[in-house]
Structure 1
Amino acid sequence: MKTMKSFFFPKCPVKIVLLPGLLFITASLAAQPVTIPIVTDNHAIVLQTDKSNLLHTVYFGKPLADPGEYEVVSAGNNFNDDNSGIYDAAYTPSGTWNLSEPAMQVTHADGNQSLELKYLRHDILHIDSNSSLTTIILKDPLYAFQVSLCYKVWKKENVIEQWAEVQHAEKGSVILRKYASANLYFTNKDFYLTTYNSGWAREMQPGETKLLPGLRSVDSKLGTRAMLLQSSNFILSFGKPAAENEGAVMIGQLAWPGNFKLDFEIDSYRNLRVIAGVNPYESAYTLPANQVFKTPSLIYALSNSGTGEASRGLHNWARKYRVLDGEGERLTLLNNWEATYFNFDENKLKGLFKGARELGVDMFLLDDGWFGNKHPRNGDTAGLGDWQENVKKLPSGIGYLVSEAKKEGLKFGIWLEPEMVNPKSELYEKHLDWVIRQPLRPEKYFRNQLVLDLANPEVQNFVFGIVDNLFTKNPQLAFIKWDCNAVIYNAYSPYLQKKGLPQSHLNVEYVKGLYNVLQRIRARYPMVPMMLCSGGGGRGDYELLKYFTEFWPSDDTDPIERIYQQWDYSYFFPAIVTDNHVTDWGRQPLKFRIDVASMGKLGFDIVTSNLSATDRAFAQSAVQNYHTFKDIVWHGDQYRLVNPHESDISALMFVSKDKKRAIMFNYLVNSRYKITATVTPVVLKGLDPDKHYTVKEINLYPGSTSAVSDTRVYSGDFLMKIGYNPNVTLQRTSVVLQADAVE
């Protein structure tokens, strides 16, 4: 794919140049309006210049049959009264005649804080038959300052990735005070916003509100683990509340693991402005001349048929284009954390290997507590940062455990938290200058730890070296669980101070440093599976998932709570990236817990020797079943059938791409006395109406019989109109059904 450098052009007449795969257009200030459609198969966003060469958003909706008619869409708009004329700006500047919430605020090299952005040109690069990149260059007419608005489109999936690139040629540095990734505008009159409040072990708590005049903001100022309290995921619905199978919706995410801000503003016309990007809070960025600053991406999926269609498009895009090995396989595992916590040695771990083999999983994962000697990691108060095996716990080293696991037919993975340090550690004692802390103030700890300064290249080398040394010494290591538990208190970078750079760079440079480490790891170890963990759902975004195969949604593994959390995560992520572990949390039986965990990437965090003989037999059978249908869960199309937030049951299904097989999960989520949960059938989705299917219950507990008959054949049409009753009751709280097409 060819790329072009950006230059500053004087006024010029309209000019069109065709290059291989590239349409290049420029226009003068006096030219006719330039119309730029950003179009997917089912949606269109149309941008257009006015007589002053300002760029506006003039349409959001279904694509027109005749693309030429996009040029006259704006004729019906009348936003010309004073400041409201800039409400629909494609990227709103600050400091001139605009008084609305800006997308960009700057201080020029001469100290002036005004900014005007006018259309200069745009490029359309056709990457392949499904994807294209439109780049629109806006320039200040008085300053050598420009912003490139970038829209990458995947037509079939109806997904758009949007970001901005900022550069200048002023005589000195420019301070970027606000630098949004996207500035969107919608003219539908009623808007409903779903956002997700969080906290430890209560991630992804949804709340939908009708947006009223004024500004609604969702943001994070935590530095790391940024989604601990608020999520950068959101759902916008237009005209009415979000529905699964009808209505215009946008499912969006700011793909950025640092501080973010999402602004939703209803203007005086009751239209909606959306501005999303890095949180400008303590993040002013000094940009030297002739350097490019790239903002994070806002990624969104569009649908005219509800959230189900939008999320399936996003899932297909994620697996094919974004998530590391998104169309590949995943490892089932047994983790030792809840079985041992910090209290283990070689013999205890080897005893767990046998249980993992008996379960039939692929891998054993060694969690926290394996390192530190001067300050042993026997709890969360010490040792973090000293990444050498603890000689008392593991006298034979990690390599010995890798080989012992292999004897049991298991792969071996390991836990790391390389961005963090305990004050009680050799690393802290030797490299205090590597720690984010205010040198004159008392240290403030989160989980008894502090954050390392990843703005510092030396720290980046150290973090990369942790992973590299482990794989150099143990090349058969098969998995990394990468944790990040602390937020940033007392933000101060000794490295930035030493380099004479503003401390306001830290929130950006930390993330850039993390990306640099991950890029180096993937250059050397391109396909080793890695789980993104952050005390649960503190991290999970589509920029980090370029480097990770999966993420840990929550430390709350109570299966009832996980039904809700996995439901809400499913709007944004395909099941292949969500790690679901069977633990001893909750009061539900083992069958219920395994069934819930099977709706993603299955894992276990239990002491298998404590299981009864019947539970052990069921677990073994359920893992075998999982291996027969996991491909449908990981790579099939997901349909949310019965919402647990609105019903006594939850029902969700996955359908293979060829529509020959489907797996349907049904759960009782309300255990009130004498409740009858499924009075009527559950209507299925995603099948072929012309095919015929058998339906049978799987994952039956030993000694039980199914209330479901597997001898009758149903048409797909019947199952998607009348449905099928899984007979969920107080005695049958978890029912897994498998539908198979009859050839």
Structure 2
Amino acid sequence: MKNLIRVLGVLLLLMKGGTTSAQQQIAIETEKISLVFTVGTNGRLYQSYLGKKLSAPSKALLSPGNGEAYVPSGGDNLFEPAVRMIHADGNPSLELVYESHAVKNEGGNTTTSIVLKDMVYPVKVVLHFSAFSKENVLKEWVEISHTEKAPVQLTHFASSMLHFKADDYWLTQFHGDWAEEMHISETKLTSGIKIIDSKLGTRANMYQTPAFALATNRPATEEEGEVLLGTLAWTGNFQFAFEVDEKQQLRIVSGMNPFASEYTLETKKNFTTPAFIFTYSDMGKGQASRNFHAWGRNHGVLNGNKERMTLLNNWEATQFDFDEKKLIALFGEAKELGVDMFLLDDGWFGNKYPRHSDNAGLGDWDANKKILTNGVSALVKGANEKGVKFGIWIEPEMVNPKSELYEKHPDWVLKLPNRKEHYFRNQLVLDLINPQVQDFVYKLVDDLLTTNPGIAYIKWDCNRMMTNTYSPFLKNKQSQVYIDYVKGFYAVMERIRKKYPALPIMLCSGGGGRTDYGALQYFTEFWPSDNTDAVERIFIQWGYSYFFPANTIAAHITSWGKQPLKFRTDVAMMGRLGYDINLAHLSETDIAFSKAAVKKYKELSPVIGQGDLFRLIAPTMDGRAALMYVDSLKQKAVLFAYTLHPRYGENWSAVKLKGLDPLKKYLVNETNIYPGANPSLSENGKTFTGEYLMENGLMVSQSNALSSAVIELTEVK
């Protein structure tokens, strides 16, 4: 009977005003990309095309194709599904057909919503696609709902399913560990499934990053090849499944990790997936990255088009050993250095259990009265009197068992009953699913800002993943912990941003454990790694540059590496510049250089933070690296060149520049030179056409290990 109903339903759709009888097409397009779906004669929705923008006559020639847009489980599908539902009557299947679609135009960008429905059960699945026209970026997310008489179970819930047909597929993934973030690996996909995922809960991308690049037919270079860059806007467990079938067809299923995450969906409620964000380029990885950067600044990151503050952090100078007097002295150093802000790191709180190390005090957010006699407000005032702003570190999602908070609310912690507590960094995760815990976290931030209204910046840390995970609040719905925790985190951030919409907040997670556009809608920048060795940072920041604009990548000068101060400074200048170094250990000449570097960075930061990035020489190639930023009018550019560890007798060719106007003339000026040193660039002070610089290049690579150069290019009228 149900099969008969399904057949009749499809026939009715086909008879509805020609809705599907002409194989209706739905095109989602930007200035340069087309994603085309076709409604088949069976009522199902198929992906017909994804690639370079097609003309209307070309789109009309497309067939439905074999790739169903959002493949359900339980029917005739033989491969990885996008969605799986167990109905109230126990039936574990869906059969989705096209019902309708609508398009909204918002300032030149469009959002297309395609409604699919099951012909037997009262279930709807809406595929949403936002097309950002100028940035050439697409965003897809899904809403699932039903009106069955009892709840249903969702066991799979992808944000996106994309299909490809090519001779070969080359996957670039980004992975690592603490202090080893963003290692880049490129492999050829073979028959079967490759999965990139996370099961860590909070510090979710500690090992695997929720982002990838896919090249078809052959590996893509910076300037050549077809490539898709994609990332999931989700601050929790994720999964990318890449499945190559027996016909050499590839489907990519992207979304939250379904592992241990079966979700109960009540009747008349919506289940909304996070967004999968992607771009396509037929001009290599470089153009795809620039698409992402433009989208990130305009739509993905809080205040992405605003300037960022330079800062001095106290951690390396003091660690936990400080008091009010010592900190106020550092304010003067920040002022002398010329940075915008002083950032107070960990160790300022806790009274019954003072925060003298990482084993106590976390969760007790009252200023330590012994070391901060006059409280945080005195520090804010002292910094402002010195002419710098004041920022502060917090880790509000975590708690030490040795804390007053834990003593009062042991039920606020994620931990298994009848099992021994498991600690990482001597701490546990608060149950942010619990509305009382959400109120607590919001209140601690709100109290900190209202009682100290001059606080200008927050560093928000999250130093552990989830283990031995169990939510006392969820009780018999433990499979929803991983999803509902992230929802709780976002709910807190929504409240904070409603009251404090512009406050700069750094997203930190024991290094790069959280680097995703799901969180960055609430944060202004992120901490890419605790590893601040300048050589390592070239590789780490290079990896992040595929998806994130430079003004979101916090880069600090520290003493971790033993490289020359100039080298460390030049590396930090290609991101959001900061200092976390004991200035007392620097010579007068070092201080003079650093002051000039801060001043120069502020002059160049509009180009670095808002300009187009061109990666010229990858650090993995031959012991050197080079990249440059070019402003939108092609009037100003900044080139960074780094020599790492060259082979003896290495003779490098000139580095060809990119992104300039070939008809314009540019003055070449090496800047950020250490006092007493001469420019390393033989072409320094000369003027060249953009064409010459892009075809002939500059001899920017030096023969000395751990040397670097910053080159300013300015249009000459």
Coordinate RMSD, CA, aligned: 1.5
Name the residue aligned to 1:734: 708
* Distance in 2 (alpha carbons) for counterparts of 1:89 and 1:302: 20
Q: Secondary structure at the match of 1:164?
A: strand
Per the TM alignment, residue 128 of structure 1 is displaced from its structure 2 partner at its CA by: 2.1
8 Å contact kept, 2:641–2:701? no
Query: How big is the shift at 1:526?
Result: 0.6
- Tell me, yes or no, if the aligned pair for 2:10 and 2:119 is still in contact at 8 Å: no
Q: Distance in 2 between matches of 1:330 and 1:621?
A: 18
Residues 715, 100 of structure 1: CA spacing in aligned structure 2 closer, same or farther, 3 A cutoff? same
Which residue is equivalent to 1:515?
A: 490
The question of whether the paired residues in 1 share the 8 Å contact of 2:643 and 2:701 is answered with: no
Which residue does 1:5 correspond to in 2? none
Secondary structure of the structure 2 residue equivalent to 1:543: helix
Distance 1:327 1:44, change over 3 A: same
Name the CA distance, whole Å, in 2 between partners of 1:699 and 1:200.
31
Contact preservation (8 Å) 1:11, 1:29: no
Question: Given the alignment of the two structures, is residue 69 of structure 1 paired with residue 47 of structure 2, yes or no?
Answer: no
Change (3 A) 1:235 1:186: same
Letter in structure 2 aligned against 1:683: K
What's the CA shift for 1:711?
A: 3.5
For 2:75 and 2:557, how far apart are their aligned partners in 1?
Answer: 57
Per-residue CA distance 1:690-713 (angstroms, 9 max, x = gap): 100111110111111113243321
SS in 1 for 2:235: coil
> Which letter maps to 2:220?
A
**1:53 paired residue number:** 43
1:224/1:727 CA distance change after superposition, 3 Å: closer
1:74 aligned counterpart, secondary structure: coil
Structure 1 731/203 Cα, relative in aligned 2: closer, same or farther at 3 Å?
A: closer
* 2:100 paired with 1:121: yes
- 2:678 is the counterpart of 1:699: no
Deviating 4+ runs (over 2 angstroms): 9-15, 26-32, 674-677, 707-712
C-alpha displacement of 1:32: 2.5
- In the alignment, structure 1 residue 346 sits paired with structure 2 residue 324: yes
For residues 341 and 375 of structure 1, the distance between their equivalents in structure 2, rounded to whole angstroms, comes to 17
- Would the aligned equivalents of 2:320 and 2:356 in 1 still touch at CA under 8 Å? yes
> 1:29 and 1:73, CA in 2 relative to 1: closer, same or farther beyond 3 A?
closer
Instruction: Give SS of 1:73's match.
Output: coil
Match of 1:140 among 111, 118, 125: 118
Q: How does 1:567-586 map to 2 (within 5 A)?
A: 567-586=542-561
Whether 1:300 aligns to 2:275 is no
Letter in 2 for 1:177: T
Determine whether 1:250 maps to 2:225: no
What is the CA-CA distance between 1:600 and the residue it aligns to?
1.1
Q: Is the 2:159–2:275 Cα contact (8 Å) retained in structure 1?
A: yes
Contact 2:511 2:527 in 1 (8 A): yes
Relative distance call for 1:11 and 1:496 in structure 2 (3 A) is farther
Post-superposition Cα deviations, 1:444-493, rounded to whole Å, max 9, x if no partner, equal: 11111100001100000000011000011001100000000111111111
The TM-score, its normalising length taken from structure 1, stands at 0.93
Give the whole-Å Cα distance in 2 for the aligned partners of 1:401 and 1:256: 35
Aligned counterparts of 1:496 and 1:68: Cα–Cα separation in 2:
54
For the Cα contact (< 8 Å) 1:159–1:300, is it kept in 2?
yes
Q: What are the superposed Cα offsets for residues 355-375 of structure 1, whole Å, 9 maximum, x if unpaired?
A: 111110000000001001111
Aligned to 2:198: 220
- Could you say what secondary structure the match of 1:290 adopts? coil
User: CA offsets, 1:495-525, max 9 Å, x none?
Assistant: 111xxx5111111110010000000000001
Within 2, Cα distance between the matches of 1:358 and 1:60?
54
CA separation in 1, counterparts of 2:117 and 2:105?
A: 24
How far is the alpha carbon of 1:351 from its aligned partner? 1.7
Among residues 81, 84, 107, which one is paired with 2:86 in the alignment? 107
Change beyond 3 A, Cα 1:27–1:589 = farther
Q: 1:727–1:102: structure 2 CA closer, same or farther, 3 Å change rule?
A: closer
> Which letter does structure 2 place at the counterpart of 1:684?
L
1:464 and 2:453 matched? no
Query: The residue matched to 2:584 in structure 1 has which SS?
Result: helix
Change (3 A) 1:731 1:48: closer
Deviations 1:519-561 (A, max 9, x none): 0000001101000000111001112111100000000000000
Listed one character per residue, the Cα deviations across residues 27-70 of structure 1 (whole Å, up to 9, x for unaligned) are 778633121122222221211121111111122222222x1432
Contact kept, 8 Å, 1:135 with 1:150, in 2: the verdict is yes
Deviation at 1:140, TM superposition (A): 0.7
**Partner Cα distance (2:380, 2:706) in 1:** 41
How far is 1:304 from its partner?
0.8
The one-letter code matched in structure 2 to 1:591 is K
Shift of 1:158: 1.1
Q: Secondary structure at the match of 2:179?
A: coil
CA–CA separation in structure 1 for the residues paired with 2:175 and 2:301:
25
Q: CA deviation at 1:13?
A: 6.0
Query: Is contact 2:168-2:217 (8 Å) kept?
Result: yes
Cα separation, 2, equivalents of 1:598 and 1:319: 18
Q: Does 1:685 align with 2:648?
A: no
Partner of 1:22: none
**Which AA in structure 1 matches 2:275?**
S
Q: Percent same amino acid among aligned pairs?
A: 49
SS at match of 1:495: coil
Post-superposition offset of 1:104: 0.6
Quick one: distance in 2 between partners of 1:438 and 1:711? 66
1:182 to 126, 143, 160: 160
Distance 1:286 1:29, change over 3 A: farther
Q: Which runs of 5+ in 2 are unaligned?
A: 1-8
CA spacing shift, 1:95–1:27, aligned 2, 3 Å: farther
Match of 1:328 among 296, 306, 313: 306
Name the residue aligned to 1:21: none
Q: Does the 8 Å contact 1:454/1:510 carry over to 2?
A: yes
Is 2:674 the partner of 1:719?
Answer: no
Aligned counterparts of 1:455 and 1:11: Cα–Cα separation in 2: 45
Q: Return the letter of the residue paired with 1:121.
A: S
SS in 2 for 1:494: coil
Counterpart residue number, 1:172 = 150
Q: Could you say what secondary structure the match of 2:124 adopts?
A: strand
Amino acid at match of 1:575: A
Partner residue, 1:83:
none
- Report the TM-score when normalising by structure 2: 0.97
Q: Residue 590 of structure 2: which of 595, 599, 615 is its match?
A: 615
Q: 8 Å contact 1:42–1:304 — kept in the other structure?
A: no
Partners of 1:612 and 1:27 lie apart in 2 by 80
What does 1:596-611 align with in structure 2 at a 5 Å threshold?
A: 596-611=571-586
Aligned letter for 1:244? E
Shift of 1:71: 3.2
